Every structure is written in C-alpha cells, then in structure tokens.
Amino acid sequence: MKLLTFSRTGQQSRLGLMLEGQILDVSSAWNVVEHPLQGSPAPTSVLDVIRAGHSCMDALALLQNAARHRPECCVDADEVTFLPPIPQPPKNVICVGRNYKAHIVESNLARGRAAEDFPKAIELFTKPATTLVGHKQAVSRHAAHTAILDYEIELGVVIGKEGSNIDPADAMKYIFGYTIVNDITARDLQALHGQWFKGKSLDGTCPMGPVVVTKDELLDAGKLDLVLSVNGEVRQSSNTSDLLFDIPQIISQVSAGLTLQAGDIIATGTPSGVGFAMTPPISLESGDLISARIHGIGELLTTIAR
C-alpha cells in the first residue's frame, strides 16, 4: 500500500492512497465503503495510520479494493499538492552520513583522506521538520547563505512502533514502510561549521515522498535500485546492497539508549555521485529539476527555485 499526504485548494491536508494515476481520498471514502471501522473517525494522516495499527490498515485495504467502484472518492494526482508524507514526525529526521561504500571512497578522496577509511560506527545528524517539503515542490536556492548546494538521494525508513535497544535480528519488526528522501546539503556551511546540522538544515532542504510504501510491498529493502538525475542527466545510480551499515544495523545502533517512536524517519545515507565529489565540483542552480527514483517506491521530483 502507498500512503501519502496531500491538499487541494482551500482544503486542509488529507490522507490518500496512491492508485494508478489517481489518489483515493480516505476521508471521502471512509463512510462510503463498508469496512469494520466504519462510523469511527477516519484517519487523517499517515501518522494516524501507523499509530492505529493493523485494524486501520485492514480497513484501508478494503477502501483501496473498492476504489474502482467509487470514482467520486478519487482525485487525479495532477490536481493535488503533494505534502511530505509525515509533515511533523515525532523527532527531527534522523540521518546517516557516509554509509554507501562507494560514496565513502569518493568523499574521502575529495577531502584528501585515505580512500577506504570507513567509519567504525554509523555517523548521525538530523534535519528539522522545517526542512520537509513534498513531491513536485520548489526548494529555495538559498543563494544568500550558500554557494554550494548539493543533492543526496536516500532511502527513508519509517518506524512503525516504539522501541529502544533493538537487536538487529528484530529490527525489521519495527519498520512500517519506506519513502524517498533527498538530503539537499549546503556543502560550504557543512564545512564551515564542522558539525553537519547547519549545512543540512536550511529551510525546505529535505524533499520527501511522494509516498510511504508499506514494508509488505518491499520485502527486500537491502536490494533496491536508486537513481538521481539533474535535468535528465544521471548523477547517482546505485543499489542499497552497497550500504556499509544495513538497515537492521542502523536501527539497532540508533535505538541504543534512544527510544524510537512510531512515525520516526531514518534516512539511511546516499550513494556515490554527489556533486561536490566531481571534478570539477558541481552545484545545484536555480531552475534545476531533480528526479530521485527508488525501485518499488516511485519518483520524487524537486525544482530549485529561481
């Protein structure tokens, strides 16, 4: 199942299910289609669904199956504004740095380090909720604050239930689903401040979406193709099999002494091909169109504002 958050002109944000070219408006369908939870309040966000558990997911599955008979409950995907699937996660977006082996090598070489100087533990930083924007949204070039704006396609893991000190063998039980993250980064600010938070946290620099795909539809998230292009030119092309620390290891290390909550988002790192590591380095510029695609999830489009 593919869940999303969207809005239409003059309306508040709404929960949707992505169909073929259309979106099922859950609020419109909730009391029209027969299901066990009919008469109870409809979930209005992806976070509501995660917290409600299996009974809500079962109801949504019935709504999805009935959608073709209820065109009045659907809207064309081109007629909505996509919002981040989880606009206000419980925490900042938790991000893993330097986690694809080929990216670690290119980053080390760009910084004059030994090529295979791999981290011994995951490197972590966060991005605040003010960085989050949805599919097909524009991101400011932030020209007054940075001269070097870069892209980073990442697989985002959405946590499904609370837990801490999670064993790697149990980690997949804590996942609700997956999404696409573009960790747009001000490289000069990242270098200037030493600690990565500022360079990673300019407003709007975490495009996310277009959907959250439930984990039952992506049974092996360790073998997903990722491709990012800028203006049609492929810049990043890799597979999650190149992760240094895989998803169970990430969840285990992050949750050690730190409680993960339903709806938390973990961005798992970016592969090689980032702009700053190219010769010469390449920066995003006003007017650029970025396409971030992950197999089984979809395509996240972002424009850099003029």
**What are the Cα distances from residue 291, in Å, to 44, 116, 124, 187, 304?**
28, 29, 25, 20, 12
Identify the burial level of 203 via C-beta atoms within 10 angstroms of its C-beta, where 0-12 means exposed, 13-18 middle and 19 or more buried. middle
Residue 145's pLDDT is what?
Answer: 97
Question: Is the confidence at residue 100, as pLDDT, over 90?
Answer: yes
Over residues 218-247, the mean pLDDT reads 98
What pLDDT band is residue 300 in, cutting at 50, 70 and 90? very high
Over residues 54-62, the mean pLDDT reads 96
pTM (2 d.p.): 0.96
Among 275, 231, 306, 292, residue whose Cα is nearest residue 103: 275
CATH of domain 93-304: 3.90.850.10
User: Residue written as tokens 């932030």?
Assistant: 142
DSSP per-residue letters across 248-289: HHHHHHHTTTS-B-TT-EEE----S--GGGSSS-----TT-E
Residue 112's pLDDT is what?
Answer: 79
**What are the Cα distances from residue 113, in Å, to 71, 110, 117, 277?**
58, 8, 7, 13
Residue 195's pLDDT is what?
Answer: 87
DSSP per-residue letters across 109-148: HHTT--TT---SS-EEEEE-GGGEE-TTEEE---TTT-S-
Amino acid at 213: V
Over residues 52-61, the mean pLDDT reads 96
Identify the burial level of 69 via C-beta atoms within 10 angstroms of its C-beta, where 0-12 means exposed, 13-18 middle and 19 or more buried. exposed
Domain range list for the chain: 2-83, 93-304
Q: Can you tell me the distance from the alpha carbon of 1 to that of 153, in angstroms, rounded to the nearest whole number?
A: 22
Q: Can you tell me the distance from the alpha carbon of 195 to that of 5, in angstroms, rounded to the nearest whole number?
A: 32
Query: Average model confidence (pLDDT) for the chain?
Result: 96
Amino acid at 57: M
Question: Is the Cβ–Cβ distance between 50 and 262 less than 8 Å?
Answer: yes
Helix (H/G/I), strand (E/B), else coil: 85: coil
Question: Is the Cβ–Cβ distance between 260 and 164 less than 8 Å?
Answer: yes
- Comparing 29-43, 100-114, 254-268, the range with the smallest average pLDDT is 100-114
Per DSSP, 232 falls in state T
For 56, the token pair is 């809500």
Residue 193's pLDDT is what?
Answer: 92
Helix (H/G/I), strand (E/B), else coil: 162: coil
What pLDDT band is residue 111 in, cutting at 50, 70 and 90? confident
CATH topology of domain 2-83: SH3 type barrels. (2.30.30)
Residue 115's pLDDT is what?
Answer: 77
- Which residues on adjacent β-strands are paired with residue 2? 213
Question: Is the confidence at residue 25, as pLDDT, over 80?
Answer: yes
